[in-house]
Amino acid sequence: MKRKQYPIFISYRHSDTADKAEHLLSLLEAAGYKNQVSFDRENLDGRFDLEILRRLDTCTDFIIILGTETLAHINDEEFEWYEQLATCNIDSFPTLENKFLAKKCIQRKESGKESREADKHIDFVRLEIARAIVGGKNVIPVVPVNTDEYNFDDLSLPKDIQMLKKYQAVKYQDSKNFLFKDVLDRILKKLKTPIKYHLLKIGSISLFVLLVLLSAISLVKWSSEKTLFHQLKTQTDFERFINGTWFFTSQCSDSIRLFHGLKGTNYIPINDSENTGRKDSILVRWDDKCSLNQIRALRRIINNMMFIPKGSFTMGSVRIEGHLNTPHLANITSDFYLGKFEVSEREWSTIMNNSIDGREEMPKTGISWDDCIEYINALRVMTGMKFSMPTEEQWEYAASFPLNETPLYAGSNNPDDVAVYNANAPQRIGTKKPNERELYDLSGNVAEWCYSDDIGKKPIRGGSFLSSADEITVTFSDKAAGKSDAIGLRLSLIK
């Protein structure tokens, strides 16, 4: 039986532009392209990937809908494989695909890295673009308008899809209130596929009016659902919404799968695989009100908690003046974990406001001791874990490794190796060398609030970018009354 031909092919990434692709499909069909547009969740026969390639190879117009993240994480080193996949015939594709995936698996094993889900599949969006370019299709990029963060013309693309930027793109405003109908005319003008008017010719005026009304109803329904979809936060929200949506079923399913994947078995690594400290796992009791962004942020926070074994050490020093300068024996009676980095602006914003505002690489400042308590309580509710501020004893103990040497600063006797100090502003987290426990910026950058049973004390440790060299030693202690652009937070955790 002869297979149906689709002269228009829509390509998109499910995690980025699926809603836009579905909207464009409905608009194209309403404009006269009914049954002429290939969409990867409709009428697929046989093996999914081979049917997609067959449709791509036989189409005339290739529409690629890009979002700001669609091409953000492409591996440049794999371009030779994608060039081969883009030019091979369909019969030889499965063999070549298996060789490519096997090669990726071997390379990760040889590098000592764990296999990822992404290594089990090829990037089909990238393949579709490369194959359309090689196949001489009428390529129509539909991309966000240029902003400070995104510029299609300046994208750095691998060789197999570099030619994408040579095609004149249709640019849309990627905002909450934007509708694709505003750029539909520009897309229609670029299509080489003719509209099939026969249905309109044999139909009546009433049929035409009905189609227009249905299109308008669908557009209103889609717009309403889009607004509601972007208000969803928790797993329960998505599970309820999926039962009544017309247009966002796949996005809800993808989000629910992400929730399950991120939560896992509730036991997650306490240290990320790139860290050199002790590896461990910890039980997380996820709060049902956590959003996907919050769960991602929490996993990063937990992954970067570094193990500190219990022990004894001489706290304080006669070398440097400070509020706790008298040497005395201190006992750390329990193992604990300390944050590899200071809490970042992005982490704080995500946990407190479910927002991705703020810079991920900059330490959060301008927070009071009481603000930190509120942040820590939020972490405890979301995870069921015993987060806290470190005590001064825990902080100095972790900063003093190796204990048999007790460097003057956290990780070195030379402050320039490990600390941002005598400066005008804090720097990005982790720009200096860590100490032996792989803890960054304990000396300098921003001072860090510590816990004290004396409510009126509110100690800070480590000094900041404003401090002198004497004020960023591991033994120097100070206290503060309130918020400051030079004071931040490092988390502590007891298992």
Residues 89 and 13 in one domain: yes
Q: Does residue 33 form part of some domain?
A: yes
Say how far apart CA 214 and CA 128 lie, in whole Å.
32
Total domains in the fold of the chain: 2
Q: Say if 214 falls within a structural domain.
A: no
The least confident of 110-114, 125-129, 447-451 is: 110-114
Regarding whether 296 and 172 lie in a shared domain, the answer is no
pLDDT in tens, 405-429: 778 999 999 999 999 999 888 899 9
pLDDT tens-digit map of 68-79:
888 887 888 888
Name the band, by pLDDT with cuts 50, 70 and 90, for residue 113.
low
Radius of gyration of the chain (CA): 28
Residues 176 and 295 in one domain: no
Shared domain check, 177 and 296: no
Mean pLDDT of the chain: 87
273 and 136 part of one domain: no
Cα separation values, 50 from 40, 44, 85, 93, 128, Å: 12, 10, 12, 8, 12
DSSP 8-state secondary structure symbol assigned to residue 29 = I
Q: What is the pLDDT of residue 3?
A: 74
Name the residue among 453, 303, 451, 290 with its Cα closest to residue 384: 290
- Which pLDDT belongs to residue 281? 83
Same domain, 271 and 366: yes
Strands in 187-343 per DSSP E:
267-269, 281-283, 305-308, 311-315, 328-332, 336-339
Which of 170, 196, 222 represents a domain boundary (last residue)?
Answer: 196
Residue 43 has pLDDT above 60, yes or no: no
- Res. 48: pLDDT tops 70: yes
Whether 67 maps to a domain, the answer reads yes
Q: Which of 17-31, 36-50, 306-320, 383-397 has the highest mean pLDDT?
A: 383-397
Q: What mean pLDDT do residues 162-183 have?
A: 84
**pLDDT surpassing 80 at residue 118:** no
Q: What is the CATH number of the domain that holds 352?
A: 3.90.1580.10
Q: Taking 80 as the threshold, does the pLDDT of residue 177 lie above it? A: no
| Domain end position, chosen among 139, 163, 196 | 196
- Please compute the mean of the pLDDT values over residues 15-35 and round it to a whole number: 89
CA 73 to chain centre: 11
Give the CATH number for residue 123.
Answer: 3.40.50
Task: Between 228 and 205, name the one with better pLDDT.
Answer: 228
Cβ neighbours around 182 below 10 Å, total: 10
Determine the Cα–Cα distance for residues 81 and 131; give it in Å rounded to an integer: 12
Q: What secondary structure does DSSP assign to 95-128, as a single string?
A: HHHHHHHHHHHHHHHHTTPPP-GGGGS--HHHHH
- Per-residue confidence (pLDDT) for residue 42, from 0 to 100: 53
The per-residue pLDDT for 199 is: 46
Q: Residue 248 domain-assigned? A: no
Name the residue with higher pLDDT: 233 or 163: 163
Residue 280 — very low, low, confident or very high, per pLDDT cuts 50/70/90? confident
- The residues, ordered by sequence, that sit 6+ positions from 429 with a Cβ below 8 Å of its Cβ are 341, 342, 344, 361, 362, 363, 440, 441, 445
Question: Which percentage of the chain shows pLDDT scores above 70?
Answer: 91
The residue out of 196, 229, 244 marking a domain boundary is 196
The residue that leads in pLDDT, 131 or 112, is: 131
Its domain, for residue 480, covers: 264-494
